[in-house]
Amino acid sequence: MSANLVALWYLAASVCFILALKGLSSPETARRGNAFGIAGMTIAVVTTLAVVAKGRLDLIFVAMVIGAMIGTFVSRRVEMTQMPELVAAMHSLVGMAAVLIAVAVVNDPSAFGVADPMPRGNRLELFIGSFVGAVTFSGSVIAFGKLAGLGKKFRLFSSAPVVFQGQHAVNLVLAGAMIGFGTVFFLAEGKAWEAFAAMLAVAFVLGVLIIIPIGGADMPVVISMLNSYSGWAAAGIGFSLNNTMLIIAGSLVGSSGAILSYIMCKAMNRSFFSVILGGFGAAEGSAAAGGEDKTVRSGSAEDAAFLLANAESVVIVPGYGLAVARAQHAVKEMAQKLLAKGVSVRYAIHPVAGRMPGHMNVLLAEAEVPYDQVFEMEDINGEFGTTDVVLVLGANDVVNPLAHEKGSAIYGMPILEANKARTVLVNKRSMAAGYAGLDNPLFYMDKTMMVFGDAKKVVEDMVKALD
Amino acid sequence: MTGTIDPTVVNLVVFVLAVFVGYHVIWNVTPALHTPLMSVTNAISSVIIVGAILAAGPAEVDFGSALGAVAVGLAAINVAGGFLVTKRMLEMFKKRSPRAEKK
């Protein structure tokens, strides 16, 4: 195959990738989009195999088959509640692949059609691609650990922010060291293995340190950010291999992750930097816990079911607690019982509910909740005032009316205005403060009834009571 | 203005344009599909497998091609896992499309 033909096939693949993302603009076109994505990937892989056909393919095939088998197995087995950790794990693989390829390029540039010794331009690109890849890898491993709940075994993976004295200073020094080694590599005449390896090692450590201070509820931002990084890493490798398809695919992914991070930050009214610097809520948490004695009204699942059955309209606000308890199927069953009684049931989704963008939508879709019952925050916020009962399941900060009060830590964060409904039912495991470490006045309102317990258990009890 | 254009400049042109395309396409993605968006972008970014195949390609197995083979394996996990899990998720959104129900 001539180089021009290869470039044209790569162009076709790139167009397919763009169409894949475009398909996601609505659920109806999304599956076709995914098919475009698969087509693009097939074109890309087959074309590249044709390029290397003169070499040895056996090794490549064995690796591909093993990888594909693992990927297929995991994709079948994973539960929808585990999507955040799966996505984090997959980001780490892209990062690692980028690093391995970068090392292979440094080892033998001529195998990739790059001049040997490498020109400065390629060195710079390689430096950027490999350090972003390394940060993506180790950062995603930490994010995976936090999301998979490995914090109980290893403190490094604690979902609470891991902070220590002088953390930011250490990060700055390491970042400086990494750039320093990178510069040595950039300016060197020979291979400069030592500088390259040192740069990579520092980047791996940096990836760990960047992610550990970020707490559980900020995970939607982190996971989007790592998504973005994995794209930039691919684009960086594309630059050093002069491969336009890799650049295009990488930039698509990079900008996708960046936009998602932006949306998530906006939904928390926090700047990207305050999320990345981490440690949110750690200080305020202890202060809020010692607040004055306030009384909450608590009731049983049966009481709650009675209120729900006698309402005309119900809005369900799912949160991370629902995902942890895997209560989505029970919720759907309850909603069906209510619908059969003539109660209107809708779901209100806050953009940062759960641990990744769109987490709640996927869980509800898995439970076969029709998506015309599921509303985004902007679309439903105006309707809480005319809603009889709001059922908050394992959500806290996203319904905290303190967000409207000047001076509170979450002031300005857009919230679901559950406090405007006639009656509010809140299911939580305990009165513990939410991620922001703030008390939630919603719980103390006269019209609020708390139903304590595991979300799944409580909802199942409600279902029984509705019979 | 004579001479050939440096490939890096061409790459930069492609890069900037692709970021623009990405920006505009992604803002049109419906928030309900943000999780499938992440898994499919994950699969797409593992097109880095192309670089891995090039690394693993040379006829004689050496340090570089061994690394390449490992990278092929890692990226292949992502390619298969990413697209399949996206498909699985999108199937869930498919069954009850409101328009289909109205028909």
- Indicate if the pLDDT at residue A283 is higher than 60: no
Q: Which entry of A397, A439, A454, A467 is annotated as an active-site residue?
A: A397
User: pLDDT band at residue A345, thresholds of 50, 70 and 90?
Assistant: very high
Q: What is the pLDDT of residue A281?
A: 43
* Cβ <8 Å between A66 and B76: yes
Q: Which residue has the higher pLDDT, A37 or A303?
A: A37
Average pLDDT (A85-107) is 93
CB–CB contact B46 A97 (8 Å): yes
Q: Indicate if the pLDDT at residue A33 is higher than 80.
A: yes
Is the predicted pLDDT of residue B2 greater than 90, yes or no?
no
Q: For the ranges A86-100, A147-161, A298-312, B89-103, which has the lowest average pLDDT?
A: B89-103
Distance from CA of A131 to the nearest CA of B (A): 15
Q: Is A62 on the interface with B (CB under 8 A)?
A: yes
Q: Over 50: is that where the pLDDT of A66 sits?
A: yes
- Residue among A30, A237, A254 whose CB faces B48 most closely: A237
Does A19 contact B at CB distance below 8 Å? no
pLDDT tier for residue B58 given thresholds of 50, 70 and 90:
confident
Q: Which residues of B touch A13 (CB under 8 A)?
A: 47
- Work out the pLDDT band at B95, boundaries 50, 70, 90: low
What percent of chain A shows pLDDT beyond 70?
95
List pLDDT tens digits, range A404-456: 887 777 788 888 988 888 889 998 887 776 666 677 888 888 888 888 888 88
Instruction: Give the model's pLDDT for residue A15.
Output: 95
Task: Kindly state the average pLDDT of the residues A181-209.
Answer: 88
**CA of A394, closest CA in chain B: separation in Å?**
19
Asked whether residue A324 carries a pLDDT value surpassing 90, the answer given is no
Mean pLDDT, range A351-380, rounded to an integer: 88
Contacts of A349 in chain B (CB under 8 A): 31-32
Structure confidence by residue, pLDDT tens digits, B21-38: 999 999 999 888 999 999
Q: Is A397 a catalytic residue?
A: yes
pTM score of the predicted model? 0.87
**pLDDT at res. B1:** 60
Contact A415, A267 (CB under 8 A): no
Rounded to an integer, what distance in angstroms lies between the CA atom of residue B94 and that of residue B91?
5
Residue B79 clears pLDDT 80, i.e. is over it: yes
Q: Which pLDDT does position A279 carry in this prediction? A: 54
Residue count (chain A): 467
pLDDT score recorded for residue B38 = 92
For residue A287, is pLDDT > 60? no
Contact across the interface for B35 and A59, Cβ inside 8 Å: no
ipTM (interface predicted TM): 0.90
- Judged by CB atoms closer than 8 Å, whether chains meet at B31 and A357 is answered as yes
Identify the pLDDT of residue A286.
39
Whether B43 and A41 lie within 8 Å, measured CB to CB: yes
Query: Which has more confidence, B57 or A45?
Result: A45
pLDDT at A437: 67
Interval A378-399: pLDDT, tens: 889 888 888 999 999 988 888 8
Alpha-carbon gap, residue A344 to A338, rounded angstroms: 8
Mean pLDDT of A213-219: 78
**Which 372-391 residues of chain A touch chain B by CB within 8 A?**
372, 374, 376
Q: What is the mean pLDDT of residues A254-261?
A: 93
pLDDT of the residue at A153: 73
pLDDT bin (cut points 50, 70, 90) of residue B60 is: confident
